[in-house]
Each structure stands twice: as structure tokens, then as C-alpha cells.
Amino acid sequence: MGSSFGQLFRITTFGESHGGGVGVVIDGCPPRISLGEADIQRELDRRRPGQSAIVSSRQEADRCEILSGVFEGATLGTPIAILVRNEDARPEDYRAIKETFRPSHADFTYEAKYGVRNWQGGGRASARETIGRVAAGAVARQVLAALHPSFEIVTYVTHVYDITASIDPETVTRTEVEANAVRCPDEAAAEKILRAIEQARADGDSLGGIIECAIRGAPPGWGEPVFDKLEADLAKAMLSLPATKAFEVGSGFAAATMKGSEHNDPFEIREGRVRTKTNRSGGVQGGISNGETIVFRVAFKPPATIAREQQTVTAAKEETSLTARGRHDPCVLPRAVPIVEAMTALVLCDHALRQKAIAPSP
């Protein structure tokens, strides 16, 4: 249990990094939404390895196939199953670590939990698992576009190691994000990040960082107190991603160092609508969207796989050392951008449908 997400727009992902393939089944997608494999492939292409010099050189086409739920270019209202075959499998790369737990990976905990694990390439704990999420997120995006044409999500890298970018969540565009390989729409910072990642690769090391997400055009009223608050579901979505360690919405941790008189967002009337002058709330109040831009940030740790000798132990409880080999990302942030975006679309689509179920018919 644990591979399903969402209440009304509900996805179930499957697949290990090695084996038949990875994918997702989406149950609860409304009918008559325009959808084709190209809509999904576009997002998968954003996350796959081999896109640029700073990500893993693995060559995986990651071609998706829609197995069900779509007919003549539109959704049927029935489950949408999407499959991506595993192609570039080299299990022999992993044979060395069959009996050895890689530090800060999930080898030991999977073994402890299940008493068994697919040691080929990380198995279910591989980032390859996120393919199903990205595919489902692309479908959620289509639903949101149909129901709320002005809705948009823009996601970008704001921070890598010791470099911080400056980006305005109210105005940044997806085109700006996609303008460089780092997916950081502050060109000067992006250039520095690029060099830092190249240096980390050269050093056999890896780097952490922060991704920010801006959700614009969500109407007031999304989010379901008291447990399924919008930020609670976003926090869960983000902390369910591999390598994430932290989440904050609006003012985030900075709120801890503030006074109420500094933090509160005064209301005003702008263009006939109730608006806040500031947005320290981050677009949510009491767990419900307030019509302002929803802004959150997610911290990613540096990838655990580094080309340096590390101390570890074997499944037989003997101490040993390990030096990773293979083709890995020295920094996951650029490829994590479409993954964060996909999870965001899933949360928002689910809440849009949940609100639709109880809202008065016009």
C-alpha cells in the first residue's frame, strides 16, 4: 500500500527501475478532456536523462503508451493506464551492490521493510518511479486547462548549493524557465549553477538545492479542512518525492522569526475582488486557496550516489566500503522541476474536482 495518491483524481503508480516498465493508472479523470500521447510525452521528455550536459547520460527514450481510457483523442471517463517500458537496463552495473547497502539510499530500509528487494538500479526507490507521476501530471494539466483556462503552474530552480537566484513568482513564465538547462529563470544565477554542477561532476560529488513553484489563477475555495488542507496535500506530495527534505509555503520558516504585525496580510478590494496587499500566506488561508498566487518551496538533498569511497555495511552485517559507478545526476534539481510540477498539478486537479462536487450548480 502507498502507491496511490488523490481522492477524486486518483493515481496509482507502478514499476521498478528494472523489469517490464513503469507507469500509472489514473482513475477519476473526467470524460471528454482532450488527450493524446503527445501531451504526456512532452512532459516525460522534460524529465528524462540525457537532455543536457549536466544530467545523467543514460539514453532512455521513455516513450509512453496510453493503454486505455482514451478514444478518438479524448478521455472516456474510464481509467487511463500509461506504460513506459524499461529499455536501457544494465543490471550488471548494480551486481556489485547486490549485497551492499549504499549510504543514504533506500537499500537497507527496503530490505528491513520487505525482507526482499530488487537490487537492480534501486528498484522501486529509483527516481525512475517518478515517470508515472509525470505522466499523470500531464493528464491533470489537461483537466485543469479545460476547467480553468487561466490556471497555470510555473516551477523553477531558485537555489543550488551556495548560489541563490532572484525570481518573481508573480511574473515568471514557463518559457523563461525552459530557456536554460538548469531551469533557473535568473540567467546570471543559472550560469553559476551550471558551472557548480559541472565542477561537482568533475569532483565525483553532488549538490543539493531548492525548487520554487508558483500556482496562478486558482480560484478562492480549493482545499479541504481540516486534514486535506491545500498546503497539507502539497507538503505530502513534495515529501513523497525522492531526495526531498523540506517544504514551506508562503513565508515558510521565515514566519518563525516574525511578529504578527509583520506577518499578517491586510485585505483590500482590487478590481472588485477581495485581495491581500501582501502574500506571506502564500495563497492559502486556513488550508483553502484565497485567490492569490500559491507559492511553495521544496529542498532537495544532494544525490546520494557519488564517485567517492564511502563506508558502509553488507546485508550480512559486515563493514565494508563502496565507490559508486554508473551514470548519475550530480544534481537532480533541473530534472526535478517537471516532477514537482506534475505533483502540483495532481494536487490541484484533485482539489478542483473535490470543490466541484460540493459547489452549488450555477
Q: According to the binding rule CB under 8 A, does residue 7 interact with its own copies?
A: yes
Task: Please identify which residue in 35, 144, 184, 200 interacts with its own copies, judged by CB under 8 A.
Answer: 200
Q: According to the binding rule CB under 8 A, does residue 53 interact with its own copies?
A: no
For its own copies, the binding residues in 86-105 under the rule CB under 8 A are 101, 103-105
Of 175 and 361, nearer to its own copies (C-beta) is 361
Give the interface size with its own copies as a residue count (CB under 8 A).
157
Of 32 and 171, nearer to its own copies (C-beta) is 32
Q: What angle do CA 230, 292, 216 make, to 5 degrees?
A: 80
Task: Please identify which residue in 94, 151, 156, 247 interacts with its own copies, judged by CB under 8 A.
Answer: 247
Q: According to the binding rule CB under 8 A, does residue 245 interact with its own copies?
A: yes
Task: Please identify which residue in 38, 175, 271, 319 interacts with its own copies, judged by CB under 8 A.
Answer: 319
The dihedral built from the CA positions of residue 94, 324, 202 and 56, taken in this order, carries a sign that is positive
Q: Closest separation between CB of residue 70 and its own copies, Å?
A: 8
Q: How many CA atoms lie within 13 A of 294 on its CB side?
A: 30
Task: Report how far residue 278's alpha carbon sits from residue 333's, in angstroms, rounded to the nearest whole number.
Answer: 29
Of 175 and 311, nearer to its own copies (C-beta) is 311
For its own copies, the binding residues in 122-161 under the rule CB under 8 A are 123-125, 129, 147, 159-161
Task: Report how far residue 132's alpha carbon sits from residue 193's, in angstroms, rounded to the nearest whole number.
Answer: 28
User: CB 129: neighbour CB atoms within 10 A?
Assistant: 20
Q: Closest separation between CB of residue 119 and its own copies, Å?
A: 9
Pairing between strand 74-75 and 70-71? antiparallel
Q: According to the binding rule CB under 8 A, does residue 281 interact with its own copies?
A: yes
- By the 10 Å C-beta count (0-12 exposed, 13-18 middle, 19+ buried), 1 is classed as exposed
- Which H helix or E strand runs over 138? helix 130-147
